[in-house]
Chains A and B, each alone.
Chain A
Amino acid sequence: MTSGTTGGSGARDTVLGRVRDALALAPPRETAVPRAYRTGRRLPDDERLALFTDRLTDYRATVLTCTADGTAAAVARALADRGARRIGVPAGLDRSWLADWDGEVREDSSDVPPRDLESLDGVVTASAAGCAETGTVFLDASPDQGRRALSLVPDLHVCVVDLSAVEAGVPEALARVVPGRPTTLISGPSATSDIELERVEGVHGPRTLVVVVRTDM
């Protein structure tokens, strides 16, 4: 028994014993896992951008494209268009992205109580990867993305993505994620379909997602 296991070794040994008994009573046939599905896909930049934009827009996210030099202007526009005045940023965010922004900026840290995040109009983060086919942005809690709560509590999330980190499909995008990091996959704004399956944006997470895609990175 490992030191982190509690609840009595009795239950652990019993459950594992039952599993072994079950497999002994009905010995399974060995199963090979066929992986004939698509992996390692490559799509040209323009096709990946078009697909990514289409899928994000379909899920009612807003997509802005810019060059690396134009990041600050795009971020400022995304924030200003939605009337944000006070934003939060992770400690490791490239501050040059906020060069054109004249509102208040609060740097997040783990000492800030989640409740304080509610007073923010929005948050700006970077991202770890993207998936074009599903319109998904991957955050892995790197210093330029911050802790998970930061991109969750405020109602507006502006997420900067480099097109070079956007992959065609799920297998390719997932391969960019470092296993073991707190990882959040975001596909459009918060949504529910629980009332007569009618999609409603924004239940508990950000109601607005703006993805700023830097096309020359």
Chain B
Amino acid sequence: MSRPESRGTGSTFLGMPARPPRVPYGDGNLRGEEAFPRAAAGELRNEQLRRNLGRATGTIRGKRLAVTGELPDWEELRDAGAALKTDALNRLPELLEELERKVTERGGTVHWARDGAEANAIVTRLVKAAGSDEVIKVKSMATQEIGLNEHLEDAGITPWETDLAELIVQLGHDRPSHILVPAIHRNRDEIREIFLKEIPGVDPSLDSVPAHLAAAARAYLREKFMTTRVAVSGANFGIAETGTLGVVESEGNGRMCLTLPETLITVMGIEKVLPRHQDLEVFLQLLPRSSTGERMNPYTSLWTGVTEGDGPQDFHLVLLDNGRTAALADAVGRQALNCIRCSACLNVCPVYERVGGHAYGSTYPGPIGAVLTPQLAGMHAADDDPNSSLPYASTLCGACYDACPVKIDIPSLLVELRHQKTEESGRSAERLAMRAAAAVMGRPRLWTAAQRTARLGRALAGRDGTIGRLPAPFSGWSDTRDTPAPPKHTFRDWFASDEGAAALRDAAREGERRRAERRTSGDDQEDQ
């Protein structure tokens, strides 16, 4: 984890299990350009972004609470969802093989990809084999993660995003900033500007009414749906028992892509497998209510291999590892793989709400991204890796844990990753400082002396009693928070002083007075 890993073979010798490799450094979209604090500082200055985000997350929080509150068995559903995902991960080898067998039996073709580069190459080859130089795409986190669009473009294939928000992002030459509503950072006026500039032949009098903007997207994409011969999708679920794949959506663009083309290529992370068809009864209740705050999303498509006379007659499933097995090898961290990509944790996170998704640098923003991204792609100490900063992008308030429909303990995972980061960062300044502090705290006389010396720190403080910037090596701390000025006296000084002695006498007298009061007013009254 401490240095970029080469593409591992994963083969084992003499039964010794090898640690699975993380995503090769620099591959795909699992790492930002700069560390979270710096990226966040930039985003925080964008008032428009904060307004858009504040409104959007506030709305969705309210809706989610209303519809989850409708179900008297919500907690039981969460318990079942968490256990089902955990059980599926525990039995991953057999379930993946079963899924492969069932999909194949039903006329589909299964491909395996060790990493994003391999998945991209498989998809590219399949598109070319189908004789197409364009694909229509259903919104998919997995293909975002591996940078499929960029790869296809390099290979001369045009990818058309068909989810409205993904279309806005693509036309705006922008990056998604939310798992569920990727264009959450844009408001209607910005979207109108993008459409006027980027959609060929769009009505120049187009206004910014959402219904009119959606209609413009509908008209623009209709032709693509009717003429493009290859579609690429992700999958919300893959059912081992039956070989059934599922996509949950709202707009119908998913249904268009999944049924109209001749060839369908689905890229699915290996953690998306569920044992049984019946298990859908849990996730079809948890997912829509947690993500959009709806009782059910408008459209869910379930398909199994190829069905004659209905839908694509050529179906390919690409099973993607890309660091998932590395996460699975971590007894604590693996629960991040339970994520069903509902984005409830983003919408309740006080940090996400203020800085938005771009600050996280990864396809997976927000609390779940802060634990999933470092596990998939690693935290590299060597070159000030932005991913090393992600476990610190949290107040540990725990709202994400409460909101998670599959009970991923994100705060504990963040703490665990911070621990791993500290363990592996070697002789960092932070570590040396902590070691020195431990030594001093262990010796009372040194501790008193150190506290007295710390009073000198008051000289650094401004009028508000806080210290804005500390010199290195403490600047890492002070860059992201103000440090309160040390008190005038240490507690030990105060305790030994006349002032301290007087305060203690007063407190003792007050206690005596209250006890006397209680005795006179009848002794069953509790002291409030």
Interface residues of A, Cβ cutoff 8 Å to B:
2-7, 11-26, 28, 30-39, 55, 59, 109-110, 114-115, 118, 131, 133-136, 141, 147-149, 152, 170-171, 174-175, 177, 179-198, 200-206
Q: Which of A14, A39, A147, A193 contacts B310 (CB 8 A)?
A: A147
Q: Are B304 and A15 in contact (CB under 8 A)?
A: no
Chain A residues whose CB sits within 8 angstroms of the CB of B319 once the complex forms:
15
List the A side residues contacting B122 at CB < 8 Å. 7
User: What CA separation (Å) do A114 and B307 show in the bound complex?
Assistant: 16
Contact status A33-B168, CB under 8 Å: no
Chain B residues positioned under 8 Å from A35 (CB to CB): 80
B298 x A191 contact (CB < 8 A):
yes
Q: Write the residues of chain B forming the contact surface with A, with a CB cutoff of 8 angstroms.
A: 9-12, 17-20, 52, 55-56, 59-60, 72-73, 76-77, 79-80, 83-84, 86-87, 89-90, 92-93, 96-97, 100-101, 103-104, 106, 108-114, 118, 122, 162-165, 168, 181, 183-184, 187-188, 191, 210-211, 213-215, 217-218, 221-222, 225-226, 239, 241-244, 250-253, 255-256, 258-260, 270, 277-278, 280-282, 284-285, 292, 294-304, 307-311, 318-319, 321, 325-326, 328-331, 334
Contacts of A4 in B (CB 8 A): 100, 103-104, 108-110
CA distance A59 to B191 in the complex (A): 25
With beta carbons under 8 angstroms apart, the residue of B56, B162, B302, B318 that contacts A197 is: B56
Given the interface contacts A2-B100, A4-B104, A205-B251, does A192 sit within 8 Å of B214 by beta carbon? Answer: yes
Residue on B nearest A110 in the bound complex, by CB: B309
Q: What CA separation (Å) do A196 and B186 show in the bound complex?
A: 8
Residue of A nearest to B283 (CB): A170
* A7-B112, A18-B20, A187-B296 known; A37-B76 Cβ under 8 A: yes
Return the chain A residue nearest B328 by Cβ: A22
Chain A residues within 8 Å of B181, by CB: 193-194, 197
B83 touches A147 (CB 8 A): no
How far, in angstroms, from A180 to B107 measured CA to CA in the complex? 12
- Is A195 in contact with B191, judged by CB distance below 8 angstroms? yes
For the complex, what is the distance from the CA of A28 to the CA of B256, rounded to whole Å? 40
Q: Which 7 pairs show the lowest CB-CB distances between chains A and B?
A: A205-B252, A4-B104, A110-B309, A26-B331, A22-B329, A134-B296, A18-B325
| Residue among A22, A35, A200 with the highest chain B CB neighbour number at 10 A | A22
Closest CB-CB distance, A90 to chain B, in whole Å?
A: 11
Is B9 a contact partner of A14 (Cβ separation < 8 A)? Answer: yes
Residues from chain A with a CB closer than 8 A to the CB of B92 are: 19, 23
Across the interface, do B309 and A180 meet the contact criterion of CB distance under 8 Å?
no
- Give CA–CA (A39, B84) in the complex, Å: 16
The residue on B at minimum CB distance from A24 is B17
Q: How far is the CA of A148 from the CA of B389 in the complex (A)?
A: 46
Q: Is the interface of A mostly helix, strand, loop or mixed?
A: loop
Which of chain A's residues have a CB closer than 8 A to the CB of B110?
2, 4-6
| B304 contacts A194, C-beta separation under 8 Å | no
Chain B residue numbers with a CB within 8 Å of A55 are: 295
Verify A37–B77 contact, CB threshold 8 A: yes
**CB-CB under 8 A for A31 and B19, given A16-B93, A202-B214:** no
Q: Judging by beta carbons under 8 Å apart, are B19 and A11 in contact? A: no
In the bound assembly, the distance between CA atoms of A6 and B86 in angstroms comes to: 29
Which chain B residues border A182 with CB–CB below 8 Å? 301-304, 307, 310-311
Find the A residue at minimum CB distance from B256.
A204
Question: Which residues of chain B are near A180, meaning CB under 8 Å?
Answer: 106, 242-244, 304
By a CB distance below 8 angstroms, the chain B residues around A115 are 226
Q: What is the chain A residue whose CB lies nearest that of B211?
A: A200
The residue on A at minimum CB distance from B57 is A197
Known: A21-B18, A148-B301. 12 other contacts (CB 8 A): A4-B109, A11-B114, A19-B270, A22-B326, A23-B92, A25-B19, A26-B334, A31-B83, A194-B163, A200-B214, A203-B218, A205-B252
Shortest C-beta distance, A33 to chain B (Å), equals 4
What is the distance, in angstroms, from A165's C-beta to the closest C-beta of chain B?
17
Known: A18-B10, A179-B242. Is A37-B282 also a contact (CB below 8 A)? yes
Asked if A188 and B298 sit within 8 Å, CB to CB, the answer is: yes
Q: Which residues of A contact B252 (CB under 8 A)?
A: 152, 190, 203-206
Taking a contact as CB atoms under 8 Å apart, the answer to whether B96 and A19 are in contact is yes
Cα(A22)–Cα(B239), bound, Å: 22
